[in-house]
């Protein structure tokens, strides 16, 4: 019998070709947009959602190491501000005995009264801590005003409230078995929730 050499595997060939082709990034381009009232997201409370202008007003390019450093500095600033607000809230709670006793001193405290020495920034690992946190309505409105938004649409508050209520009432009221004649899911043409 004559031995026929085996044909090389197609799988091995494709792996070998893929191994040499990799995408590598050398730069990061950051686009900056002005803030606008959003109308496209639903904050968990209040009105005045945050959004962006339709076109960016500036773009900057960074190397990967520059961008990583920039993010770390930015995250550390956000962390410092968050810890400062938490410390201010704690001081106000102490002065008002957990909000039960009015205190003029507590009402007069501001973020400027909390020094950097009072913060334990070194105890928190920035990379593990940082994540987007919801902003209270007052802060969102202040950000919009600081960005030049003169008129904040007050109707958005009612629209957002209605959306949040409608999201609480999803699915149907079926128990154990689906009743297609009364099931809102079945009538909408989706599987019973």
- Looking at per-residue confidence, does 145 or 3 come out higher? 145
Question: Which residues, in sequence order, are bridge partners of residue 37?
Answer: 50
Mean pLDDT of the chain: 80
List the structure tokens of 81: 């501000």
Instruction: Residue 28: count other Cβ atoms within 10 Å of its Cβ.
Output: 15
Rounded CA separation 121/75 (Å): 11
Q: What are the residue ranges of helices labelled H in the chain?
A: 10-20, 64-95, 104-108, 126-129, 137-146, 155-168, 184-187
Is pLDDT at 132 greater than 70 in this prediction?
no
Q: What angle do CA 141, 143, 146 make, to 5 degrees?
A: 110
pLDDT of residue 31: 96
CB 193 within 8 A of CB 171: yes
Question: Which residues, in sequence order, are bridge partners of residue 29?
Answer: 61
User: What is the H or E stretch that residue 60 is in?
Assistant: strand 58-63
Kindly report, residue by residue over 58-112, the tens digit of the pLDDT: 999 999 999 999 988 888 888 888 788 888 888 888 877 776 777 788 778 887 7
Rounded CA separation 62/107 (Å): 43
- Total-model pTM: 0.57
């Amino acid at each position: 019998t004559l031995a026929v050499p085996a044909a090389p595997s197609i799988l091995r060939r494709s792996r070998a070709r893929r191994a040499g082709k990799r995408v590598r990034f050398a730069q990061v381009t950051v686009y900056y947009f002005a803030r606008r009232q959003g109308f496209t997201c639903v904050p968990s409370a209040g009105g005045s959602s945050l959004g962006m202008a339709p076109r960016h007003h500036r773009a900057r390019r960074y190397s990967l190491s520059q961008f990583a450093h920039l993010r770390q500095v930015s995250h550390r600033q956000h962390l410092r501000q968050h810890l400062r607000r938490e410390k201010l809230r704690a001081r106000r709670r102490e002065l008002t005995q957990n909000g039960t006793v009015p205190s003029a001193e507590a009402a007069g405290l501001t973020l400027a009264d909390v020094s950097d020495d009072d913060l334990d920034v070194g105890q928190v690992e920035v990379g593990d801590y940082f994540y987007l946190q919801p902003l209270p309505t007052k802060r969102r409105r202040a950000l919009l005003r600081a960005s030049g938004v003169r008129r904040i649409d007050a109707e958005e508050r009612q629209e957002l409230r209605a959306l949040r209520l409608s999201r609480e009432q999803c699915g149907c009221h079926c128990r154990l078995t689906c009743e297609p004649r009364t099931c809102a899911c079945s009538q909408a043409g989706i599987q019973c929730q």
